[in-house]
Structure 1
Amino acid sequence: MSSAPEITGWKHVYSGKVRDLYAPEGGADGRMLVVASDRVSAFDHVLEPGIAGKGALLTTLSAWWFDQLAGADGGPAVPNHLTGESAPAGVADRAMVVQSLDMLPIECVVRGYLTGSGWAEYQASGTVCGLPLPEGLHNGDRLPEPIYTPAYKAPLGEHDENISFEKSAELVGEARAAELRDASLAIYARAARAAEARGLILADTKFEFGTDADGVLRLADEVLTSDSSRYWDLAAWENGATPAERMASFDKQIVRDWLAANWDKTGTPPELPAHIVDQTRERYRELLERMTR
């Protein structure tokens, strides 16, 4: 895995699978620097090579969405963790200066369509994350209404766990859990309308929130990017002959599919071929261009 870059004025404090976190060199002052790398992960492994430009593409899309949700789209302003300060030269296109928040241990997942692990569960039990759904739905179908399916953010190295709303209330309190649910559903509805106006479907997404020193809930981390959301082409979804055609997503599904066909998930993953890297980069780029044009 590539090392985190040295950045003047900032001290590297943590690296996740795909992002690096920095604190001010002079000591904590309520700010952090989040740098999106070009690393790509799948099946809990960081893969080689990375996808050149991925960090910049995702950061640009996330920043655009933060701006829209702050009121640029004419809707109510959603508080977020951005300080408004420019990121340092050298990482300016793939970094954000943010407020330090007390991050809540809930991954706020909203699903508007039946797919992925939700489809597998529905086939087995007629539910998604324990929530009953109508009979007769098919893979890729739009749900009668979006559903909120929170997950517990597990400690580093462990898998996140789907939980009930009641369990989320035990973790953060009933009022805060309801605030997370309502904010997530409202943001999803707003983003889904914006995506549809651009010929895209926002099938599902996940949000993370934290609270500032005054207890204000703020949208944090990345938002509505290819790494946190599943987007489909609206025309393909309406007219595609197969699930693969209908639900070709603008994310790293190309990488997952190639790995699933070429690796038994033991030992070190194989190196990604150049054409898989290139195809994945183009899917990220196409989504950014279609959403922000």
Structure 2
Amino acid sequence: MAGFQTEVTTLDGWDHFYSGKVRDLYIPAGHSFEDTDRVLVVASDRISAFDYVLTTQIPDKGKVLTQLSLWWFGQLSDFANHVISTDVPAEVAGRAMVCKKLDMYPIECIARGYLTGSGLVEYKASSTVCELPLPEGLVDGSKLTPALFTPSAKAEVGEHDENISFAQTVERVGQEVAEALREQTVALYEQAELIARQRGIILADTKVEFGADPATGVITLGDEVLTPDSSRFWDAEDYAPGKAQASFDKQFVRDWLTSAASGWDKNSGDEPPALPEQIVSKTRARYIEAYERLTGQVFNA
């Protein structure tokens, strides 16, 4: 990923193994990745947009992502998840989880319950979303019933994920697993959408990742779940189809980067500029507001 740099925290009892856009993975000290059954997942304050990890971080963002994911895992008890413990080194308390090492499927499982974003662009051109036909007359923010399963193929860091068809998903993971991933993704979205709506928030779409538990073969939720990084949240009170919706996710950062105020052209090949303090503070506030409205709890940094 262009501009991708990270400072790795040294943690007693754990060896750094890998850094992604936002998360750093550690394995038990003295072990190899192949011979361990658990990993320490640490969420940093890094933020990415347009395939760049930005030079500016959002304070406490990693804690929001971790604590909100843990809350959602608790709400979605019908779905197996990878969390073993939150007993983690003090240096990463609040932003880390000890998790089962899963055999991750190479699929980004996306559920879309509302028409917006890249789906809206495709719909305007062809009346489809990820090649799935939709009725005429839909607008930005139209509800999609039932929700769509629109998988993508995981890309290497710095590359675009590629939207793929269900048939292509079958080619990658097999018919039985592909059908299970589709069923679980849509079921999870529908359950979470109801929970969010009861709290005055619309869950427009979300991305989840699954892997197989090596010990049991059970399809298991991994990574993060239903955070402002992986989902599109709207304020239900302000929701009105036919216009762009105010969001609780990092769309706020994308909008600034593509505005005249940033002076940046996303097609230039140049790295994005640093975020101004006003955008940093507003982004942090939106992430925390999403956490507090969903959980009903005060965020403690």
TM-score (norm 1): 0.94
1:271 aligned to which of 274, 278, 283 = 274
2:255 aligned to which of 257, 270, 288 = 257
2:246 aligned to which of 239, 245, 248 = 248
| 1:96-137 CA-partner distances (Å, limit 9, x unpaired) | 110111000011100000000000000000000000000000
* Root-mean-square deviation over aligned CA pairs: 1.3
| 1:159-208 CA-partner distances (Å, limit 9, x unpaired) | 11111111101110100000000000110000000001001100000110
- Alpha-carbon distance between aligned partners in 2 of 1:235 and 1:97, rounded to the nearest angstrom: 37
What is the number of residues matched between the two proteins? 283
Q: Which residue of 2 aligns with 1:99?
A: 100
Whether 1:68 and 2:93 are equivalent positions in the alignment is no
Structure 2 vs 1, CA of residues 111 and 160 (structure 1 numbering), >3 Å: closer, same or farther? same
Q: Which residue of 2 aligns with 1:83?
A: 84
Q: Which residue of 2 aligns with 1:224?
A: 226
Q: CA deviation at 1:158?
A: 2.3
Letter in 1 for 2:167: E
- Alpha-carbon distance between aligned partners in 1 of 2:25 and 2:153, rounded to the nearest angstrom: 22
Q: CA deviation at 1:89?
A: 1.3
Q: Which residue of 2 aligns with 1:74?
A: none
Q: Secondary structure at the match of 2:84?
A: coil
Q: CA deviation at 1:156?
A: 3.1
List structure 1 runs of 4+ shifted beyond 4 angstroms.
Answer: none
| Alpha carbons 2:51, 2:159 under 8 Å: kept | no
Whether 1:137 and 2:141 are equivalent positions in the alignment is no
After TM superposition, the structure 1 stretch with the greater mean CA deviation from structure 2, 113-122 or 261-270, is 261-270
- Alpha-carbon distance between aligned partners in 2 of 1:85 and 1:256, rounded to the nearest angstrom: 32
Q: Which residue of 2 aligns with 1:281?
A: 284
Q: Secondary structure at the match of 1:12?
A: strand
Letter in 1 for 2:231: S
Letter in 1 for 2:190: A
Q: Which runs of 5+ in 2 are unaligned?
A: 297-301
- Alpha-carbon distance between aligned partners in 2 of 1:264 and 1:85, rounded to the nearest angstrom: 41
Q: Which runs of 5+ in 1 are unaligned?
A: 71-76
Letter in 2 for 1:61: L
Q: Secondary structure at the match of 2:136?
A: coil
Q: CA deviation at 1:22?
A: 0.5
- Alpha-carbon distance between aligned partners in 2 of 1:199 and 1:135, rounded to the nearest angstrom: 29
| 1:205-233 CA-partner distances (Å, limit 9, x unpaired) | 01100001221110000000000000001
Q: Secondary structure at the match of 1:33?
A: strand
Q: CA deviation at 1:2?
A: 3.8
